[in-house]
């Protein structure tokens, strides 16, 4: 895995103060931004980005709890705060404190930001291993140093597919969810357990690959 850092000990909880300040600007009824507070037992940093105003995409909060149960550290936040998260990741990379693999999952407007966030992290020579987009609202492009990205989309009157930039060298998939025939729509996609199971399965595979690589490095 190419990247600046491969540190085993870390904490993404350094993000908590910044996210707490940002949340005070949100609506009182909105869900709070924040990071998991347990001691992780597996490698990885997973970033969940909600859509509009933190009152939608609440299925991502449940998803984050499922990932926590897997022992993987994670943060859930509104898509408007993505730059602060990127800055934190880049800053920690200089101290070898990024706990790979980096994984990004976004819904709606968060899905639109996900490839931009991944591309910016990748441009800093930090490998982004896996990115998931849940029904973006605009067509988007993804750039260099992103291993794998999948766009689960529901076809609309306008294009919402994902496209590669010239320097993209990973695996890109656009998945039309109408073929699943499970009643997906823009507001329930993040709550669909079948989709979350599929994504969790891939997360487990990606994290297991990192665990195996670390074991080889120790021997």
Query: Measuring CA to CA, which residue among 53, 66, 210, 70 is closest to residue 130?
Result: 210
Would you state the pLDDT for residue 27? 43
Beta carbons of 162 and 180 less than 8 angstroms apart: no
138 is written with which tokens?
């605009």
210 is written with which tokens?
């990192």
For the domain spanning 12-218, the CATH number is 3.40.50
**What does residue 125 show for φ and ψ, rounded to 5 degrees?**
65, 30
Would you state the pLDDT for residue 1? 36
Instruction: Please tell me the pTM assigned to this model.
Output: 0.89
Bridge partners (DSSP) listed for residue 47: 75, 104
pLDDT per position in the chain (219 positions), as tens?
334 444 554 567 666 555 654 444 444 445 678 899 999 999 999 999 999 888 789 999 999 999 999 999 999 999 999 999 999 999 999 999 999 999 999 999 999 999 999 999 999 999 999 999 999 999 999 999 999 999 999 999 999 999 999 999 999 999 999 999 999 999 999 999 999 999 999 999 999 999 999 999 998
Would you state the pLDDT for residue 23? 46
Q: How far apart are CA 146 and CA 103, in angstroms?
A: 10
Would you state the pLDDT for residue 31? 65
Would you state the pLDDT for residue 53? 80
Bridge partners (DSSP) listed for residue 20: none
Would you kindly state where each structural domain of the chain is located, as residue ranges? Answer: 12-218
Q: How far apart are CA 153 and CA 10, in angstroms?
A: 34
**What does residue 188 show for φ and ψ, rounded to 5 degrees?**
-115, 0
DSSP one-letter code for 149 = E
Cα dist from 68 to 46, 47, 200, 202, whole Å: 10, 12, 11, 15
**What does residue 46 show for φ and ψ, rounded to 5 degrees?**
-115, 130
Evaluated on CA atoms 142, 150, 1, 120, the torsion sign reads positive
Q: Buried b vs exposed e over 106-128: b needs ≥16 C-beta within 10 Å?
A: bbbbbbbbbbbbbbbbbeeebbb
- How many other C-beta atoms are found inside a 10 Å radius of the C-beta of residue 26? 17
Q: How far apart are CA 109 and CA 128, in angstroms?
A: 20
């Amino acid at each position: 895995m190419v990247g600046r850092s491969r540190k085993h000990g870390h904490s993404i909880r350094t993000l908590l103060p910044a996210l707490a300040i940002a949340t005070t600007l949100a609506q009182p009824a909105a869900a709070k931004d924040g990071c998991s507070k347990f001691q992780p037992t597996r490698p990885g940093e997973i970033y969940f980005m909600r859509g509009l105003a933190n009152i939608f995409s609440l299925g991502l909060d449940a998803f984050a709890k499922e990932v926590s149960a897997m022992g993987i550290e994670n943060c859930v936040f509104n898509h408007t705060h993505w730059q602060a998260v990127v800055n934190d990741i880049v800053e920690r990379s200089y101290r070898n404190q990024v706990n790979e693999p980096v994984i990004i999952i976004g819904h709606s407007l968060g899905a639109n930001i996900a490839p931009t966030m991944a591309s910016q992290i990748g441009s800093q020579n930090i490998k982004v291993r896996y990115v998931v987009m849940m029904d973006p609202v605009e067509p988007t492009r993804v750039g260099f140093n992103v291993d794998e990205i999948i766009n689960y989309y529901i076809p609309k009157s306008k294009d919402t597919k994902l496209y590669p930039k010239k320097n993209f060298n990973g695996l890109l998939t656009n998945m039309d969810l109408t073929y699943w025939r499970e009643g997906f729509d823009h507001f329930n996609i993040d709550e669909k357990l079948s989709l979350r199971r599929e994504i969790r399965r891939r997360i487990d595979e990606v994290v297991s690959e990192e665990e195996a690589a670390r074991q080889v490095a120790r021997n």
